[in-house]
Structure formats: C-alpha cells, structure tokens
A and B are shown apart, each in its own frame.
Chain A
Amino acid sequence: MSDYLVKELMVPLSEYATVPKGSTLFDAILALEKAQEEFDHTKYKHRGVLILDKKRQVIGKLSQLDVLRALEPKDEESIDILNLNQFGFSSNFVHRLRMQRRMTAAPLKDLCSKASQLKVEDFMQTPSAGEFIDETATLEMAVMQLVHGPHLSLLVARGKEIIGILRMTDVFAAVFHTMKECEL
C-alpha cells in the first residue's frame, strides 16, 4: 500500500481554473491563464478548465485538445471525411484529404476570432462514472482509474461534492517519488 492519499495529491478546486456554464471558449482560456499565474510556479501548469453549474457543481472538463478541436472547421465535408473509414479508405488517404481540405479552409486566425462566440458546454467532456474518485482513496486506486479510463485527470469527491482535481502529472510525481524510495 502507498502512503499517499488522493486528497494529498489533488489540486483544490479553488486553485484550479473554473468557469461557469455559458462562458465562451475565450473566457475559459483567460481563466486558465489566470489560474496558471496564481498557481505555484514550481509545480506543473494546469492544462484544463472545469465547467461549473449554478450550484458550483462540476459538469464538465475542457482540455487543451477540446479547445483545438473547437477551432477545427466544421462543415459537411469534415463530417464526410469522418465517414470515409467505413468505406474502406486507408488512414493515409483520410489524412491527405484532411490536409487538402484544411489548406482551402479559413485561416486559423479567422477561426480564433470566433472563439468568443463559442460556448464551453458545446465542447467540454462530460465526466464519466470512472472519472470520480473519493478523497480518501489511495494512490493505487488513482493509478488504476487513470490507466483504465484512460483519463488525464480525475475529479476528487467528498461525498457528493467535488473538492478538487487529481492530475496525472501529480500522480506520476508521487509514483516517481515512491520508486526512488524503493531504490534507496
């Protein structure tokens, strides 16, 4: 058994980037920037934003990948490309088609300017059952849930309340520390 408990490794919700439902992507990015500035600079930077409802309950997670995905052109052609696999086209073909279509789509700068119109709830990931972990759980349980999700972070619960976020990087640091202790 590890000595570490989840509550010792998590980032408290108050220190993490959060935005209320209805915020724009740009609001989320500003919140992330602010949280990173205020967070302990010796630690690993935050990479996501939590979305809260009116009761400040976590209803979703917005990752950096979600933001990039939101800026991808969304037209019928993009959907068609997604469907090409079912017709037996190779992944190489799909990649080349995407490249070709991307070159003729609007420049990234134009797409970024739309970030202030896009709502976070349209791009956030709703947490699944395996993404919650109790604050008293051990490091072993956290590793198991991260690996089998797989997830980049877990929401830490105290009863029904989410009190923090357990990031993979913090779990990894704890595992690494444990490894070093074993060597000694």
Chain B
Amino acid sequence: MKELKKLLERIIQRININLRELDYDVSPFIRNLVPLNQMVKFYAFYGITPNHPLDLVFRHSSLAGSYFLGKIRVRNSILYKSDIRGDELKHQGDVFKYQNFEIPITRDEGIDIEDSFLIKTLVHNFSHDPETLEKFFIRDTLSTHYANIHGSPCDGCFLGPFATVDLTTMRDCVIGTFSYVQAGEVGHLNVGPGTVWVRSPDEFNFLYRYPLDKLSHYIDFIEGRPPQGFVMDFVEDRKEGFRRVFDVVHLEQSVSIPASASLDRYAVIKPKTSISENVLVAQRAYLQNAWLGQGANAQENCYIINSRLEGCNVTAHGAKIIEADMGKNIFVGFNSFLRGRARNRLTIGDESVVMPHTIIDIKNPLTIPPGHLVWGLITNPQELEANSIALKDLSKIDDVLIKGNLSFEGSGAAFVTAFRDRIHHILEANGAFFDGKKNKMPRRTRISPLTPSSHTPTVNSRVCIRPL
C-alpha cells in the first residue's frame, strides 16, 4: 500500500507538470476517487486468442480488475477496472495511409502505458498518429470513470468522466466531463465539460456545447467526490450483472445465436434478447430484452434495453439505448444516452446519425425522421428541432451553420461523407455484410471460451494477474 501511495503521488506530480501551462491541478480530483484498498481486491485478466500476440509486460503497476488483450506495456501506472483492448492494433507489414504517404509498419504496434492512472477507462483501436504508428502511448495521463481513449495517443492529459478522445493525438490537454474530441491533433487545450467537437482541418468543424446546468443532472463531476448524476447511477446500478460474467468460469451462453453472429463471453445478456445474423456483441456490452437485427453491432460498454434495432446499426462504445425503436443503418455515437419510456417510446428513422455524446431523454413519444443528424440535449420536440438537421440539408452547407448551441463551419457534404464512410467501415470490419463467403465475419469471439481445464491453446482464454 505504501508503494501504491508513492506511485499515485508520482503520477499526480507528472500530470500536473504537464498541465502547468493550463494552471490545472488534478490532485483534488484524483485523491480518494478510488480508495486504494480497492486495488488489492480484484484480479486483472489477459485475453488469449489465436489472432493476437501473447505479449504483456507490466512493471511497478497496479492493474486491479483490468482486462488486457494484445501487445501491451504498462509501467509505473495504476489501472482500475479498465479495458485495454489491443485487438485492432496494426501488424508488422501493414501499410498506413496518411495524406499522400504510404507508411510501412515495421513492427507490431503496442499499447504503451506509463505514469498514468486509468479508472474504468476503455482503451481501444490503434494509433492514428503518423509520427507514432507502432506505439500507441498513454503517458502522464489521468482518465476517470467510463472515459474512452480511442485510437488516441495521450501525453500529459486529464480526461473527465464519460469523456472521449477519438482518433486524436493529445498533449497537455484537459478534456472535461462528458466531452468528445475528434480533432486529429490537439495540444495545450482545456476543453470544458459537455463539449462535442469534431474537426477535420480545411474540411469542417463541428462544435456543440451543453448547457451545463442541464448536463449536471446527467453527469456531474466536482473535486473531492466521485462522478455523480443519472447516467453514472444508470451504469453503476448494472455493474452486478458484470460481476457474474467475470467471476464464473463455466458460463452457459444464455441465448442462442446464429453461426455468423459473435457474442463475447464477457457481455451480459439478460432475458428476452434476440440476436440475428452477423450481429456483433462486444465485451462488457449489456443487453436486456433487446432485439438486434442483421448486422447490428453493440460495442464495448454499450447498453441496449427494451429496444429493437432493425439491422446494420452501430451502437458505439458506451452508448445506451433504452425503450427505443431504431430503424436500419443508424449510428449511435460514443457514450450517447437515449432514453424513451415504456409507453412513450423513442423512434429513430433509418439512416440517421446520432452524434457522439448525445442525450435524448423524453417523457412523451418522440420520432426522429429518417436521414437526420441529431446532437446535444433533446428532451422534447422543440429541442429536437434546435438540435437536428436532415443530412441532405447539411450536405448543402458549404460555409456556416449556427443553430442553437451548435457552431458548424466548412463543408456539410464532407462531414456527412466522413460519417457515412466511417459507419460503413465499422460495419464492414465488424462483419455486418458477411454473406457466408464474401466479406469478414464478425470480428471477435468466433472461438468459444477456453476454461482452465481445456487443453486447446488457441482460444479466448484469460490469465489472472495477481494484484500488487
């Protein structure tokens, strides 16, 4: 415990040194955020598959309750119940295309975590930084509850609860509570809470800011206490479901699935759930009375409850869909929280895009027409009007769009195309278009779990790592 305290102090100091220009002190937030005695209560896990190298090195670190997959290094760090998923890292011999460059990958990429404290954080995807393609680094960084570090090397950063940094290299930045940043490369920025920012330089710039007084009802984080709010309660109330899937070795699959579907062994499946062809259900997804049509995918940390997804839906990391009827080809971005009511359901039409970190929380029925982009906070039809636009109308914007709290500059067509391309790529990579011969199958647990008594060495197993 003494070593752990020293390690925590070292991490705090290193982060504060990096954030000194922003005059930001993480220590009031970090202290007591997770009682250190929790660190000795949980094992860590290392996933083994035939598709990923068995390559974990950790030194002078606490990995309590965390899950690792693929090539990973951890030094001088504390990881608490985090998912470090190296299943999409680049391999030696791959070629990375960036602007006019075709950059060969000279060795297998690894996730490299040093002097950092990650709490219930998902680290996924691969480094998109052309300057560091073989090393997806996370250094001198504090990441708090349910944050996502997705394809984003970080150096000297603080991520608030439910923050997401996506395909962006960050140096010396603060990303506020429930903020989403996808901007390529950022440095020395303090992004306030409730900011949704998607920028592609010279193409488009999308910025939405939540009214903070309303956001605090859903998620609120002030120094000296853990994150609070309705979304936090929602997730914490369901964590018992995950205890069983991680504690029990021989876990019977609770739902029958087609051969072309993929259901991760560490997903929670509650009764009345139906899974169609080519569906992908990732680790730590939570399904309850959920109907997933062909090619739908439910990514890590997402929750789909009392809802129907017609097919080819992308429910991104951390998204929550409750009491909703979703058409086909709908994208729901990271950490979105969509809540209808049992008798007052949320309906979203085909081909719509729900921006990352959108909150839709309704008490009366609400329908989002097909082919719309929605963002921000929506609790009634008036807010839907202010925070949505038909994608065909957005495509016509080539200069400026100012709508409610949204600031948009650049080419709407480029924005729509970028999203459509990314959604198609996700569906393709996750096996949504598999026809039995062509295209990929759903990506992950194609092979059944290995139990400790099995002798088959090439399946999705786990290694228990004892705490410090």
Using a CB–CB distance below 8 Å, which chain A residues touch chain B? 80, 84, 86-90, 93, 96-97, 100
- Give CA–CA (A96, B408) in the complex, Å: 12
Hey, which chain A residues are within 8 Å of B189, CB to CB?
86
- B400 x A93 contact (CB < 8 A): yes
From 252 to 283 in chain B, residues with beta carbon under 8 angstroms from any chain A beta carbon are: none
CA gap between A100 and B407 in the complex, in Å: 12
* Chain B min CB distance to A126 (Å): 21
The residue in chain B whose Cβ has the minimal distance to the Cβ of A97 is: B402
B400, A87: Cβ atoms under 8 Å?
Answer: no
CB atoms of B407 and A97 under 8 A apart: yes
- Report the stretch among B201-209, B296-304, B325-333 that lies at the interface: B201-209
A-B pair count, CB < 8 Å, reads 25
Q: How far is the CA of A96 from the CA of B399 in the complex (A)?
A: 11
User: Could you show 25 A-B contacts with beta carbons less than 8 Å apart?
Assistant: A80-B209, A84-B207, A84-B407, A86-B189, A87-B197, A87-B199, A87-B205, A87-B207, A88-B183, A88-B199, A88-B201, A88-B205, A89-B205, A89-B207, A89-B407, A89-B409, A90-B409, A93-B400, A93-B407, A93-B409, A96-B400, A96-B402, A97-B402, A97-B407, A100-B402
Nearest neighbor of B183 in chain A, beta-carbon distance: A88
B162 to chain A, nearest CB (A): 20
Q: Which residue of A lies closest to B188 (CB)?
A: A86
Residues of A within 8 A of B205 (CB): 87-89
Main secondary structure of the interface of A (DSSP, over half): helix
Chain B hits for A84, CB < 8 A: 207, 407
For A87, list chain B residues within 8 Å (CB): 197, 199, 205, 207
Considering only CB atoms, which chain B residue lies closest to A90 in the complex? B409
How many residues in B have their beta carbons less than 8 Å from beta carbons of A?
12
Compute how far the CA of A87 lies from the CA of B200 in the bound complex, rounded to whole angstroms.
Answer: 11
Smallest beta-carbon distance B332→chain A, Å: 24
Question: What 1/0 mask marks residues of chain B from 183 to 194 whose CB sits below 8 Å from any chain A CB?
Answer: 100000100000
**Residues in chain B near residue A96, CB distance under 8 A:** 400, 402
The 5 closest A-B pairs by CB, nearest first: A93-B409, A87-B207, A88-B199, A89-B409, A88-B205
How long is the Cα–Cα vector from A89 to B409 in the complex, in angstroms? Answer: 7
| Cβ distance A124 to chain B, nearest Cβ, rounded Å | 25
For the complex, give the distance between the alpha carbons of A155 and B355 in Å: 55
Chain A residues with Cβ below 8 Å from B201 are 88
Q: With the chains together, A80 CA to B197 CA distance in Å?
A: 14
Binary A-proximity of B385-428 (CB < 8 A = 1, otherwise 0): 00000000000000010100001010000000000000000000
- Name the A residues within 8 Å of B207 (CB-CB): 84, 87, 89
Chain A residues near B183 (CB, 8 Å)? 88
- What's the minimum C-beta distance from A175 to chain B, rounded to whole angstroms? 41
Interface residues of B in 216-249 (CB under 8 A from A): none
Smallest CB separation, B164 vs chain A (Å): 16
Within the complex, the shortest CB–CB distance from A91 to chain B, in Å, comes to 11
CA distance A93 to B402 in the complex (A): 10
CA distance A93 to B205 in the complex (A): 11
Q: How many Å from the CB of B355 to the closest CB on chain A?
A: 16
Chain A residue numbers with a CB within 8 Å of B197 are 87
Closest residue of chain B to A84 (Cβ to Cβ) is B407
Please, which residues of chain A bring their CB within 8 A of the CB of B402? 96-97, 100
**B191 to chain A: closest CB distance in Å?**
8
| Whole-angstrom CA separation of A97 from B409 in the bound complex | 11
CA gap between A178 and B466 in the complex, in Å: 85
Nearest CB in chain B: distance from A90 CB, A:
6
Chain B residues with CB under 8 A of A97:
402, 407
Chain B residues positioned under 8 Å from A93 (CB to CB): 400, 407, 409
Interchain nearest-CB distance for A28 vs B (Å):
33
The closest CB in chain B to the CB of A80 belongs to: B209
- The CA-CA distance from A97 to B183 in the complex, in Å, is 21
A14 CB to nearest B CB, Å: 44
Shortest CB-to-CB span from B324 to chain A, Å, is 31
Report the minimal beta-carbon distance from A77 to chain B, rounded to whole angstroms: 9
A90 contact set on B, CB distance < 8 A:
409
Given contacts A86-B189, A93-B400, A97-B402, 11 further A-B contacts (CB under 8 A): A80-B209, A84-B207, A84-B407, A87-B199, A88-B205, A89-B407, A89-B409, A90-B409, A93-B409, A97-B407, A100-B402
Whole-angstrom distance between the Cβ of B156 and the nearest chain A Cβ = 17
Distance in angstroms from B374 CB to nearest chain A CB is: 21
Minimum CB–CB distance for B18 against chain A, Å = 18
